[in-house]
Amino acid sequence: MLWFPLSLLAAFSLATADAVTKRFFGKLSPYEMGTVRLIYTIPWLIGSFFFIPLVKPDKIYFLVLATGLPLEILAMYLYMKAIKVSPLSLTLPFLAFTPVFIIMTGRLLLGERLSPWGILGICLIVTGSYCLNLSHIRTGFFAPLKAIIKEPGSWMMLLVSFIYSITSVISKLGILHTNPYFFGITYFTALTILMVALAPFIQKFTARNLIRFPLKGMILGFIFGVMIFSHVLAISMVQVAYMISIKRTSLIFGVLYGAWLFQEEKIGERLFGTIIMIGGVFIIGFFS
């Protein structure tokens, strides 16, 4: 059961990294936010490289890099954009849709049938997302749904959730063909190199922003490094759906950070909706 506390650690460290990124680097562009977050993680990853069992990568590993990294860049940009422009309590909960997309793509691409538990889980997640804006119901029954569309961070995070439904499975394949330590270090190192290399072609990139807050950056890098290692270790021990279900408790931590650090409003209804969504995630992960 070691995967369980590791998944909780991944959840807490992810939510903490999101809060620290928004708090100290929120004035940067979304692409810079993502790149800074990765660059300051590199020293911790490289330092760990000398203490892990090495493996010889095979063709599947390189195929995982080739398919996963472009998706990770898109997801990172949308993720940073979402937490930059919208409250954490209205963006992070939509990561709960990742398992929904996983079972929906299985239905469409593999012909898998939805179980009653899976349908119940989807209904709870959709209901929870509706409750995130429950106070809007006074202006009409569909007003909470319209509020989701009007909040850019919400629909951006929905796209991120869909991308993660793909990359979470891809990364598990990469881990199985190497080991958790080697894959976590090399995958995110390659992602960092690629993001830095593409920066001049995507937008005006100010290198000074990378070193403006070195101490805060190193703290952020350490927290995100903890998330990486706890994630890859946990997902190597258990089915992807189980691990992702527990990791999505990060949504609760994210909402609480929104209230504590950013004095976001209507935390009660957003926390209520988030808890319902997590209930749906658990049902999909453990019973579907």
Tens of pLDDT, residue by residue over 210-231, are 777 889 999 999 999 999 999 9
Residue 186 belongs to domain spanning: 3-287
Q: What is the pLDDT of residue 203?
A: 65
What is the mean pLDDT, run by run of 10 residues, along the chain of 288 residues?
Answer: 92 96 92 93 92 89 95 96 93 90 67 76 89 81 77 93 90 92 95 90 69 88 96 90 88 93 90 92 83
Taking Cα atoms as reference points, which of 187, 18, 168, 13 lies closest to residue 98?
Answer: 168
Taking Cα atoms as reference points, which of 232, 224, 180, 161 lies closest to residue 6?
Answer: 232
User: For the chain, how many structural domains are there in total?
Assistant: 1
Q: What is the pLDDT of residue 88?
A: 92
- Listing DSSP states for 64-114 in one string gives HHHHHHHHHHHHHHHHHHHHHHS-HHHHGGGGGGHHHHHHHHHHHHH-PPP
How many Å apart are CA 228 and CA 219, to the nearest integer?
Answer: 14
Taking Cα atoms as reference points, which of 286, 284, 287, 288 lies closest to residue 125?
Answer: 284
Q: What is the pLDDT of residue 126?
A: 87
Q: What is the pLDDT of residue 107?
A: 64
Amino acid making up residue 184: G
Q: What is the pLDDT of residue 207?
A: 67
Q: Let me know: does 135 contact 64? Beta carbons within 8 Å.
A: no
- Residues 122-140 as b/e (b if ≥16 CB within 10 A, e otherwise) read bebbbebbbbbbbbbeeee
Q: What is the pLDDT of residue 111?
A: 61
Count of positions (residues) in the chain: 288
Q: What is the pLDDT of residue 52?
A: 86
Q: What is the pLDDT of residue 213?
A: 82
Give the CA count within 13 Å in the CB-facing half-sphere of 110.
Answer: 8
Q: What is the pLDDT of residue 41?
A: 96
Cα dihedral 74, 77, 78, 79, rounded to 10, equals 120
Cα dihedral 51, 52, 58, 63, rounded to 10, equals -90
How many Å apart are CA 92 and CA 82, to the nearest integer?
Answer: 9
How many Å apart are CA 283 and CA 240, to the nearest integer?
Answer: 14
Q: What is the pLDDT of residue 115?
A: 78
> pTM for this one?
0.91
